[in-house]
Amino acid sequence: EWRRLRRLAAPLALLMLDIDYFKPYNDALGHLAGDDALRKVSAALRESLQREGDTVCRCGGEEFAIILANTHQEGAEQVAASIHAAIASLDIKHPSSPLGRLTLSIGITVVDPVIDEQPGELLAQGDQALYHAKHEGRNRTCLWQPPVLDLHQAT
């Protein structure tokens, strides 16, 4: 898919998702409840994707990635909003969450078009955006922003 989008000079969005406070959830409710929550979240993620070719995968633990081909920033943000709504509608009780229910954080990065970037760079950017969403309070979406050069420090 990466090579095809590069050939077409088409955009690609990557969403990195992480279930908030999942270790305390597992610790409080047990691994069977954790496995059940993962299955429900995974199904909600798949159902949130509208187009054939949009791909969701579990990266490990409680982290997921979604690849949206031919998707610009606005489309990726719309998908993220629908995911947050879908997870909220599951209403999975979470005793260790400030909201009392299971939530997730999302990091978005977009390349438009896919030309010089490498898949590893995109994954790193998605992880940085996800970290920012967690740092900003969880249960939110953050868009990756390139670092800003501080001209005062450069001189």
| Active site positions, annotated | 62
Residues 18 and 83: their CA atoms lie apart, in Å, by 12
**Chain-centre distance of CA 18, in angstroms?**
7
Q: Of 114, 89, 117, which Cα lies nearest the Cα of 103?
A: 89
Phi/psi at 102 (5° precision)? -70, 135
What number of CA atoms fall less than 13 Å from residue 24's CA on the CB side?
12
**Chain-centre distance of CA 36, in angstroms?**
20
Written as six digits, the tokens of 5 are 């989008």
Residues 5 and 116: their CA atoms lie apart, in Å, by 11
3-state class of 16 per DSSP?
strand
